[in-house]
């Protein structure tokens, strides 16, 4: 049974194929040992041969010679001949279990078949510990480009600085007197919470199952703030400004514990695009087509295409 051949019809990949490359053929491709009797001893011998795998070692030698940068045309042809020999040896190693035939790597090829190329460090931890060649081969250059790209993303801020002002309703007028009273509660809250956390940790050293009833404390502060300011939106405005403007280094836990509902009311709903499966869509991901439509609520999957077809895109794109 022949090997399965996958044909890729991709212009970028096809452009990278050297159509003038010389084919390497092994005239003794199907060389094999003499016929053997089907008995227990020979079956064990075949099984033992499957445990000897030189394919990886031969491939590593090939990678080394592909990675080398020859200085002369003669040296280039020598390396190419070594790679041709290694490709034949790899074929023998693949069929070794059933043929019983495998050749050793010629000594002169094995002698200079090191060090492995730099990009092999990403093959496994085993290769990371080895001395690797940084020769300017295509794969090494590509590896370093990917590393440079990766570092830029690792250290890059993943999102712009958070705009806390989305939690403030500017239409609700400020009140300095109420602001000052809430500020006093906030500072007292920060001090008491720090003391309570220290007490809790101290007790937990003796009783690991101990935990303070934090909700009771939160409820007390919540009620005190509501008594000072009964307007949810105004209270939210005050605590957000306290936590983000006046005391940015203090905990923002207070903000959500005493003014959570008001903050949610202040945050406006923002319309954003989501992908919807659509065979005629302009966006493609993993071989499937999608259309980008504004999210206006929970969509029924059975109505997705109908939603896409009937949506007024002109209205969306002129949306202010």
- Measured CA to CA, the distance from residue 268 to residue 271 in angstroms comes to 10
Give residue-wise pLDDT tens across range 203-224: 877 777 777 788 888 899 899 9
**278 and 260 assigned to the same domain:** no
* Inside any domain, residue 132: no
Which residue segment(s) compose the domain that 278 sits in?
273-317
Residue 168 included in any domain: yes
- What pLDDT, on a 0 to 100 scale, did the predictor assign at position 269? 65
User: Based on the domain organization, do 171 and 259 belong to the same domain?
Assistant: yes
Q: Is 158 left (phi over 0), alpha (psi -120 to 50) or beta?
A: alpha
Q: Model confidence at 1, in pLDDT bands (50, 70, 90)? A: very low
Q: What is the DSSP letter of 170?
A: T
DSSP 133: E
- Shared domain for 92 and 185, answered yes or no, is no
**Co-location of 15 and 53 in the same domain:** yes
Query: Within a 10 A sphere around the Cβ of 309, how many other Cβ atoms?
Result: 10
Centroid of chain to Cα 206: 42
CB contact at 8 A, 75 and 99: no
Tokens of 283: 């966006």
Q: Are residues 101 and 70 in the same domain?
A: yes
- The predicted structure's pLDDT at residue 181: 93
In-domain check, residue 235: yes
Task: Assess if residue 150 is contained within a domain.
Answer: no
Beta strands per DSSP E along 61-131:
116-117
Report if residue 158 sits inside a domain: no
Please give the model's pTM, rounded to 2 decimal places. Answer: 0.44
Contact partners, residue 274, CB within 8 Å, separation at least 6: 292, 293, 294, 295
Task: Kindly report each contact of residues 142-146 with a partner whose C-beta sits within 8 Å and lies 24 or more positions away, as own/partner.
Answer: 143/118, 143/119, 144/118
Closest alpha carbon to 147 in 119, 169, 177, 188: 119
* Average pLDDT over all residues of the chain: 81
Does residue 143 lie in a domain region? Answer: no
Looking at the structure, tell me whether residues 90 and 171 fall in a common domain. no
Domain boundary among 82, 114, 146: 114
Task: Tell me, yes or no, whether 185 lies in a domain.
Answer: yes
Looking at the structure of the chain, the number of domains it has is: 3
pLDDT tens across 52-97, in order? Answer: 788 888 888 998 998 888 889 999 899 999 999 998 888 888 888 8
Domain assignment of residue 256, yes or no:
yes
Q: 97 and 15: one domain? A: yes
């Amino acid at each position: 049974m022949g090997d399965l051949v996958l044909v890729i019809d991709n212009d970028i990949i096809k452009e990278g194929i050297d159509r003038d490359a010389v084919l390497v053929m092994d005239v003794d491709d199907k060389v094999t040992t003499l016929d053997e009797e089907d008995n227990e001893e020979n079956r064990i011998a075949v099984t033992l041969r499957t445990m000897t795998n030189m394919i990886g070692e031969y491939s590593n030698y090939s990678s080394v010679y592909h990675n080398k940068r020859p200085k002369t045309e003669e040296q280039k042809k020598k390396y190419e001949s070594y790679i041709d020999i290694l490709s034949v040896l790899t074929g023998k190693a693949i069929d070794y279990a059933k043929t019983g035939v495998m050749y050793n790597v010629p000594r002169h090829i094995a002698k200079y078949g090191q060090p492995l190329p730099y990009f092999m460090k990403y093959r496994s931890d085993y290769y990371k510990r080895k001395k690797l060649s940084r020769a300017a081969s295509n794969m090494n250059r590509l590896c370093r480009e990917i590393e440079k790209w990766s570092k830029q993303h690792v250290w890059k801020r993943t999102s712009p600085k958070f705009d806390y002002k989305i939690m403030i309703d500017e239409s609700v007028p400020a009140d300095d007197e109420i602001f000052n009273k809430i500020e006093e509660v906030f500072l007292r809250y920060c001090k008491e919470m720090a003391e309570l956390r220290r007490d809790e940790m101290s007790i937990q050293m003796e009783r690991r199952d101990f935990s303070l009833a934090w909700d009771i404390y939160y409820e007390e502060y919540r009620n005190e703030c509501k008594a000072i300011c009964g307007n949810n939106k105004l209270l939210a405005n005050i605590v957000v400004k306290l936590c983000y403007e006046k005391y940015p280094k203090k905990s923002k836990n207070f903000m959500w514990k005493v003014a959570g509902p008001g903050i949610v009311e202040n945050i406006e709903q923002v319309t954003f695009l989501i992908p919807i499966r659509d065979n005629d869509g302009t966006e493609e991901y993993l071989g499937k087509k999608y259309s980008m439509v504004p999210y206006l609520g929970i969509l029924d999957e059975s109505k997705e295409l109908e939603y896409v077809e009937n949506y007024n895109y002109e209205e969306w794109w002129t949306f202010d």
